[in-house]
Structure 1
Amino acid sequence: MKKITLFFTTIFSIAVFAQQKSTGTISLSNNVPITANFTLNNTTSQVTLVLTGPSDRWFGLGIGIVSGFGMDNGDVVVFTTATTPNLTDRNFIGTQAPAQDAMQSWTTVSNTVSGNVRTLILTRALTNSDTNDFQFPYATTNSISFGGVRASSATMNLGSHGGSASAGYAVNVPFTTLGVEDFSLNASKVFPNPSKGDFTIQTKTFLNKVNIYTQTGVFVKSIEVENNAENVDFNITGLQTGIYLVELVNDSQKSWKKVIVN
């Protein structure tokens, strides 16, 4: 009976863990330097968006749009330091700057810059009551199209993106259900990498501690993680440039990642 109970407990655990699906990291067409990674979590009813773009100008991501949509309507998130908050939930209304929604749905979990690349980790409910927002019902959201725009020159003042050269698209990107291995510490990601010393660890499980070592195994520092967080920022600026080893630790697992300080 114990073996049968254990078997069904294991199957149930796998079923629970498998309640996520992701696009993976997708680059836009036309060599526009914007990437997006959507992950839907049916257990928490949240969508996580990892969005990268240029660090020296405003940029945005239109969700559920395809090339040729005309900017007359559509859900969009925009990052610019010219507004407070820096990230705003908006709606395309033609060639004008997109209007800000009354309901601000996205929450910024992390905002890091390495060189000329800004990385944002954002979360939002899968579905909500805002008619301007693209909805992500877990059972029926099996693919997604999106487009990114950026200022044609270095400016944080929101305005025209400057033509088709500053717009790119990804069409009918499929979602892939994540398996059990995707939820282990081995599946964790550290970015941006390389970096000047500011890094973010993103996991699908949780972390208790992060240990940093030199490539030759000399201990550098240890970071205690509060509340078993899934996303952890750490800083090793001031160290010599080179390769460092990052040990990720939780109650049941350890995993090693390599980072480069440049």
Structure 2
Amino acid sequence: MKKITLLSLLAVSIISFAQQKSTGNVTLSSNMTANLTLNNTTSKATLRLTGPSDRWFALQFGAFGASGGMESGEDLVYTNATTLIDANQNGVGSSPTTDATQNWTVTSNTVASGIRTIIAERNFSTGDANDYTFNYNNATIDFAWARSGSASYGLSNHGGGNRGYNTSVALSTTLGIQDFSLNSSSIYPNPSNGNFNVETKTGLNQINVYSQLGALVETIDVKDNATSVEVSLKKLQKGVYLIELKKENDKTWKKIIIE
């Protein structure tokens, strides 16, 4: 009887602890992979996308099956020479339209041995009609991918053999491990009127604020490795800003919207 009780308690503990689902590393082609993780605690999706560094490559996600990969209105992301672009399909033969609001925040963008690896995150739901809404309860997700047939960042026909589908990719529950890096930091309220709070589990040394064009507009030195910092940017114009959080060798990027 005691064994049954202990096993039951363990099962309940594992179920309550498991707050993440992931596709794991999905091989799209010989030099492209995708890994999507849904965190039900933060309601954020994290995408790790790899592909050739000398050309654009793209990933579409949603629920479209193997026949709806380029239908107008489908959500996708693609890379240019520098970053990840949030966009929307316009149908077969037409280049996608860049979304007015870039809801993916790139937290890492590295190139090694000709392969670019981008890690980005966004909320499950952005409130943007152009964006796919991730549902933690879904058991699968569909991927479609494409890349330029030659070394080029200009969007054009990808050519045969440079596209494909991975449909009904399983989203499997994983055991979440508490993250004490700066990546687990939170900013609230967001959007804000310019006054907001930064909360971390590991403490901060510095906060840098950048415009969307990459210009440094504010540097805030944080004393005593504080884990909670009140920030005021009310003097800045309304818009979207990138927040760099730093502590020694650890750093991460967040996005703040000032209304």
- Provide closer, same or farther for how the CA distance between residues 32 and 72 of structure 1 changes in structure 2, counting only shifts above 3 A: farther
Give the direction of change, closer, same or farther, for the CA distance of 1:169–1:33 in structure 2 (3 Å limit).
farther
Q: Which residue of 1 aligns with 2:179?
A: 205
SS of the residue corresponding to residue 67 of structure 1 reads helix
Distance in 2 (CA, whole Å) between partners of 1:23 and 1:70 is 19
Shift of 1:111: 0.4
C-alpha contact (below 8 Å) 2:60/2:69 kept by paired residues = no
Q: Say which SS state the counterpart of residue 102 (structure 1) adopts.
A: coil
Cα offset, 1:15, TM superposition:
5.0
Offset, 1:131? 1.7
Question: Which of 146, 156, 178 is equivalent to 2:174?
Answer: 178
**Greater mean deviation of Cα atoms: 126-135 or 54-63:** 126-135
Give SS of 2:156's match. coil
* Equivalent pair of 1:206/1:228 in contact (CA under 8 Å): yes
Q: TM-score, normalised by structure 1?
A: 0.60
2:161 corresponds to 1:165:
yes
Aligned with 1:48 (options 46, 58, 64): 46
Percent identity, aligned pairs only, is 42
CA distance in 2, matches of 1:36, 1:127: 20
Q: Name structure 2 gaps, 5 residues minimum.
A: 1-8, 183-199, 204-259
Letter in 1 for 2:27: S
Q: Which residue of 2 aligns with 1:80?
A: 80
Residue correspondence of structure 1 range 57-76 to structure 2 within 5 A = 57-64=55-62, 65-69=64-68, 71-73=70-72, 74-76=74-76
Instruction: Give, in whole Å, the separation in 2 of the partners of 1:115 and 1:10.
Output: 44
Q: Which amino acid aligns with 1:117?
A: I
State the one-letter code of the partner of 2:48.
V
Q: Contact between 2:69 and 2:144, CA under 8 Å: does it hold in 1? A: no
Q: Secondary structure at the match of 2:67?
A: coil
Code of the aligned partner of 1:173: V
Distance 1:157 1:53, change over 3 A: same
| Residue of structure 1 equivalent to 2:130 | 132
Q: Which residue of 2 aligns with 1:117?
A: 115
CA distance in 1, matches of 2:181, 2:99: 35
Aligned pairs, how many?
A: 177
Distance in 2 (alpha carbons) for counterparts of 1:48 and 1:69: 24
* CA distance in structure 2 between the aligned counterparts of 1:61 and 1:70, rounded to whole angstroms: 10
Q: What are structure 1's unaligned runs of at least 5 residues?
A: 1-8, 184-203, 209-225, 230-262
State the AA in 1 paired with 2:70: M
The whole-number CA distance in structure 2 between the counterparts of 1:167 and 1:174 is: 20
SS of 2:161's equivalent in the other structure is: helix
TM-score by structure 2 length? 0.61
| Contact 1:58–1:80 (CA under 8 A) maintained in structure 2 | yes
Q: Tell me if 1:150 matches 2:147.
A: yes
The answer on whether the counterparts of 1:34 and 1:52 sit within 8 Å (CA) in structure 2 is yes
Provide the C-alpha distance between the structure 2 equivalents of 1:39 and 1:126, rounded to a whole number of angstroms.
11
1:205 CA drift (Å): 2.4
1:152, distance to aligned residue in structure 2 (A): 0.2
Alignment of 1:197-236 (within 5 A): 205-207=179-181, 228=202
1:43-76 per-residue CA deviation (whole Å, 9 max, x = no partner) reads: 1110001111111101110112443326232111
1:81-113 Cα offsets, whole Å, 9 max, x none, are: 27xxx3211111121210011222111010011
- Taking a change above 3 Å as real, the CA distance of residues 34 and 207 of structure 1, as seen in their structure-2 partners, is same
Measured in 1, the distance between the counterparts of 2:10 and 2:71 equals 49
What's the secondary structure of 1:110's corresponding residue?
strand
Given residue 98 of structure 1, which amino acid in structure 2 is its aligned partner? P
Q: What amino acid does structure 2 have at the position aligned with 1:133?
A: D
Q: Is the 8 A contact 1:51 1:120 kept in 2?
A: yes
User: Conserved in 1, the CA contact under 8 Å of 2:60 and 2:75?
Assistant: yes
